[in-house]
Amino acid sequence: MNLILLGAPGAGKGTQATKIAERYGIVHISTGDIFRANIKMGTEIGLLAKSYTEQGLLVPDEVTCAIVKDRLTWEDCQKGYLLDGFPRNLYQAEQLDTFAKIDGVVNINIDHKLLMDRLCGRRVCKECGESYHVSTLGGKTTCDRCGGELYQRKDDNPETVGARLAVYNEQTAPLIDYYSKKGLILNFTGSEAPAEVLFGEIKAVLDKFAK
Ligand code: ADP
Ligand code: ZN
């Protein structure tokens, strides 16, 4: 089962992606995680990506598409994969069609009023990637799951979040229509309820789908 996860920044893609990948035994591929790892390691791709991610802009398509195209040739993709954060515009979607066969697109709709606060208050575990919101941490600085240190992503500030949401609206949202026309969209609604609630809904649909 090869899936795409669509949704605005802050919709909860990362959290749902981890749960989906675990339940269905497929690989979670996050282009954002790939870029952050490269930035941390100071690779050539990292140096290039940094200037874009820091402004909330998309890393150039040629670079991003080449990374994903290569990643999908790895052995572990044989059992299926979940693309999180790719494609992000029509060009990337068209490119993906030339090297992948997608079975479904999980689209998380969410009230955009929730997103600014969610993203600016987000804290992420350095070790396992789990997300938290400052309002629920009560000053705690370590991860409940693994004890790892929590940090704030450099692009989770009001200015950059504004740019990321604009990019989503202009470039990524049209993909909902693109995949609807192909009959691939599975629609869900995110909310302030715990992530488990949304995952329950996604699971109910994907369990039937995976058969
Ligand atoms: P979010 O969905 O929370 O904004 P991601 O972790 O998916 O964040 O991505 C972080 C940043 O990495 C993006 O703002 C962008 O700069 C870059 N990026 C991730 N995926 C892509 C992509 N498919 N194309 C271009 N840039 C990307
Ligand atoms: Zn952790």
- What is the structure's pLDDT at 98? 98
Same domain flag for 73 and 95: yes
Under the banding of pLDDT at 50, 70 and 90, the label for residue 211 is: low
Residue range(s) defining the domain that contains residue 204? 2-110+159-210
Same domain flag for 77 and 174: yes
**Model confidence pLDDT, tens digit, residues 170-204:** 999 999 999 999 999 999 999 888 899 999 999 99
Write out residues with Cβ below 6 Å of ligand 1. 9, 31-32, 35, 52-53, 56-59, 64, 85-86, 88, 92, 155, 164
CATH of the domain at 174: 3.40.50.300
Angstrom distances, CA of residue 13 to CA of 28, 78, 130: 11, 22, 12
Query: Global pTM?
Result: 0.95
> Is residue 42, in this structure, part of any structural domain at all?
yes
Count: domains in the chain: 2
The answer to whether residues 104 and 146 touch, using CB atoms and an 8 Å cutoff, is: no
Is 71 considered catalytic here?
Answer: no
Same domain flag for 19 and 89: yes
Compute the chain's Rg from CA coordinates.
16
- What is the structure's pLDDT at 210? 77
Same domain flag for 149 and 62: no
Same domain flag for 150 and 165: no
Catalytic: which of 13, 23, 154, 211?
13
First-last CA distance in the chain: 9
